Amino acid sequence: MPIHKLAMGPIALNVVAAEQTEGQFGTQVLFTGDDNTQVYVSLASATGQLQRIGLTIPTSVGQRLHFEQVKKDGKTFTNILRAGAAPAGAPASAPAMASAAAPKMGLDEIAALYGQCVSHALDQLYRQCEDHGIGVNAEAIQAAAATMFIKATR
């Protein structure tokens, strides 16, 4: 079974198996795609990213997921996103993200949507971080709101 290292680039898999395992770098989650491609993600990253998109390790099976590494402030992070359905005949490794164009919105609609994103980010992010004793600043709220807004308008 081929192993895809995320440092080589992103990949989308139709996940047929996901299991916690001990790897070279400690406890990891092994995701296996329908083409037998394997991706290893650290347990902490995998569980955090899956939770962010409403999944767990067991419920990730049967999902099409996009895996990628990003570098920010000199650190490397692993992102897991839900991927769009694979186009007919596309290889499982094609990063087919949903790409339907959002309808044009007027400025009032945009402002209302962004306001909802800020409100939701403030409520969710602040409450969850406060529950865990993590400080939250305006930049974190703004980043969370912008992420939701971008996702909603794509």
* pTM of the complete model: 0.55
Distance between CA atoms of residues 46 and 6, nearest Å: 13
Q: What is the pLDDT of residue 149?
A: 82
Alpha helix stretches (DSSP H) within 3-137: 43-52, 107-131
Q: What is the pLDDT of residue 47?
A: 95
Parse the chain into domains and list their residue ranges.
Answer: 6-82, 107-153
Low-confidence ranges of the chain (pLDDT < 50): 85-102
Q: What is the pLDDT of residue 102?
A: 46
**Pairing state of beta strands 26-33 and 75-82?**
unpaired
